[in-house]
Chains A and B, each alone.
Chain A
Amino acid sequence: MAGLKDGDDYRDGERFKIPALLQLLCLGVGGGGTLLFLILSFSMSEKTGAMGYSWLFAVIFFLSLAVGGLFWTMLHHATNSGWGTVVRRLMENLASLIPFMLILGLPLLISGFGFRDKLWEWFPKREVALHHAEEAAKKEAPEYITARKAEVAKAVAAVEAAKKELADVASPSPGHRVHLERKIEELQKKADKFAKEDLSEDGAIATLTDKHFQHDEALLFKKRGFLNESFWWIRQIFYFVVLAGIAFLLRGWSLKQDRDGDPKWFRWMRRWSCGLLLFFATAWTFLVFDWLMGLDYSWFSTMWGVYLFAGAALNSMGFLVILLTLLRRAGYLKNVVTMEHYHLMGKLMHAFVIFWAYIAFSQFFLIWYANITEETKFFLTRNTGFWNTYTIAFLVIGHFFVPFVALLLRAVKKIPHILSGIAAWNLLMHAFDLYWIIIPERGPSLTAHLGKEGIAMVIPGAWVFDLLAFVSVGGLFGFFLLRQLASASLFPCRDPRLDESLNVVN
């Protein structure tokens, strides 16, 4: 049995020894599953599109847990709180999984895997529209240049004519002169404007391409500043750098403090967290805009970022509770974590159950009430037939009412097993929540080209891939988590706030 006993020195921390069998199992399931998934997606090309949605679902679920871990770490520092120092290392370990999860998401982003264009239709649509526009532009360009040049010549001629008219009048009255001068000025302005247009071949093609693009795909044209491939890649790199970078930085400083006990690191973490929270929020918000809201480029919701954030924060706290209970069961952290910590974590879970419901309802409520066609699309898909039952059962009752009522009781939050049970329930509901966001998009998107008769709400049999992807990514998530847990002490053993956290009472 590992773990601190009475009389042991807290300053040496507590090391986690990976259960070899569990690690092997995680690696086997995760690695094998991922390999199988990729092989299947390459060999069954007609299923690749459907499998992209499965992989996105799995990656975003585990990524959201890791991102939530980063949020709790940063919030802990930014609010200068002392209660959670003993569980902070677990949050940091969770956050340090962000780069692994983002790398697992890479197949979605690279078009060679065949997922990207099926997930985010704006890529192929934009490409096709641009291609057509360019073709048409090339065809029309010579004619257009001639026509425009004639217009320019006409405008210049008009100026000349007006000037001549002024010169021809022998002695104009002051009023007449002003009138003519004004006319010349106006015509000159018009001619200058015409002359500004780039009438070289490339210039004309660019102008005409825009015109055709706007005509064919007005929405994509309007959003071209955001929805274009180069800016899209810049954003993906930004997400990786910000999310993985912050996690790396904060965990690194925390580990340094473990070694030298210098309170300088503690102050650095606290100071930097406040400013970095801004970048964190921006990165996560836009990541879910790109990855999830982008599944239907014509739909938008400004509450999207905070909605996904609420789910991530809630379930990452739930995951921490479960992880803590499992570790304690294996004999770790027994003398460090008390029921007071469980109580506090349970209270945070409760708060975020309410916060999630508040955000989710507000998003639905505003769209439902305003009833504007371009916004209702999202909920129309999900309020019809099977998905309607699903929404009420899993999101309204399962995600909100059940944990809300259960967590109202104080005693429940102080019993690790019951609290872990509620946390597990929440994680299941979180999976259903993300499934509900991603999967209803799959049927209509993949069958849209079949027309009114062929369109299907669900792709039959595709749920097998959802399950496979979830288990595979989950296996790898567990494997990396075990390694991160074992790489350092299980709690920040020389943090100045450790004493406060050990003796916390609430």
Chain B
Amino acid sequence: MSNSSSSSNELFGYVAEFSSATDLYHAAEKVRDAGFRRWDVHTPYPVHGMDHAMGLGKSWLSALVLCGGVTGSMTALALQFFTQVSLYPTVVQDKPTNLFTIPAFFPVTFELTILFSAFATLIGLFALIMLPRWNHPLFNSPLFSKFSNDGFLLVIEARDPKFKREKTKELLSEIGAGKIEEVTY
């Protein structure tokens, strides 16, 4: 409480509460149209179509996963070809030791593709959402704790170039926010 009311600390942004997912959805559309970049919504459950309302583009994660998968399959193929075909040709059950040994290498290739894709997904996701971190200024807000219970929240950060202390607050109440809270670092 003391944090939000004290003016000595630097402002992180506004947390605004909306009464329902529908209200939040429409509010998000308006904030998107107002041209804000550094903002987010927080809801107790996933809201279908919210990414569209927020104007979010396609995530880069799938590209990272593709890179992970390709790296995995190439690693597996290279490992097997170098050891089993080039360096030390291993004849098993009269199978060839050339390009046509490839069916024998498929299970490992498949597994490494999956493994590296999974690694890329996990690490890529953490990198994109900037986790792990010790704390977040939003945790200073008592209103924010409602996001996991019954709160439909919209957060606009102060570092957004369009952010104006008074005007943004006005905008939030205009688009139907109930409670608006200032969050400081």
Interface of A toward B, CB cutoff 8 Å: 361, 364-365, 368-369, 371, 408, 410, 505
Contacts and interface: CB of A to CB of B under 8 A. Distances in A.
Nearest to B107: A365
Interface of B: 48-49, 58, 62, 66, 93-95, 103-104, 106-107
Given A408-B66, A410-B62, A505-B48, A371 B93 contact: yes
A505 B93 contact: no
A410 B59 CA distance: 11
A410 B51 CA distance: 15
B104 A369 contact: yes
A368 B48 contact: no
Contact of A361 (B48, B94, B106): B106
A361 B102 CA distance: 12
B103 A371 contact: no
Contacts of A371: 93-94
A364 B103 contact: yes
A389 B103 CA distance: 16
B93 A369 contact: yes
Contacts of B49: 505
Contacts of B107: 365
5 contacts: A365-B103, A365-B106, A365-B107, A369-B104, A408-B66
Q: Which 4 A-B pairs have the closest CB atoms?
A: A505-B48, A505-B49, A365-B103, A371-B93
A371 B48 CA distance: 52
Nearest to A506: B48
Contacts of A368: 103
Contacts of A505: 48-49
A479 to B, nearest CB: 41
Contacts of B93: 369, 371
Contacts of A369: 93, 95, 103-104
A505 B53 CA distance: 13
A410 B103 contact: no
Nearest to A383: B100
A148 B112 CA distance: 67
A410 B58 contact: yes
A408 B66 CA distance: 9
A365 B109 CA distance: 14
A361 B105 CA distance: 12
A208 to B, nearest CB: 43
A410 B94 CA distance: 43
Contacts of B58: 410
A361 B107 CA distance: 10
A408 B62 CA distance: 10
Contacts of B106: 361, 365
A331 B62 CA distance: 35
Nearest to A503: B48
Contacts of A364: 103
Nearest to B92: A369
A23 B98 CA distance: 54
Given A369-B95, A371-B93, A505-B48, 15 more contacts: A361-B103, A361-B106, A364-B103, A365-B103, A365-B106, A365-B107, A368-B103, A369-B93, A369-B103, A369-B104, A371-B94, A408-B66, A410-B58, A410-B62, A505-B49
Contacts of B62: 410
Contacts of A361: 103, 106
Contacts of A408: 66
Contacts of A410: 58, 62
Nearest to B50: A505
Contacts of A365: 103, 106-107
A365 B106 CA distance: 9
Contacts of B94: 371
A408 B49 CA distance: 22
A361 B109 CA distance: 13
A361 B103 CA distance: 8
Nearest to A408: B66
Contacts of B95: 369
B147 to A, nearest CB: 22
A369 B93 CA distance: 8
A371 B107 CA distance: 18
A166 to B, nearest CB: 62
A412 B94 CA distance: 44
Nearest to B62: A410
A410 B63 CA distance: 11
B123 to A, nearest CB: 20
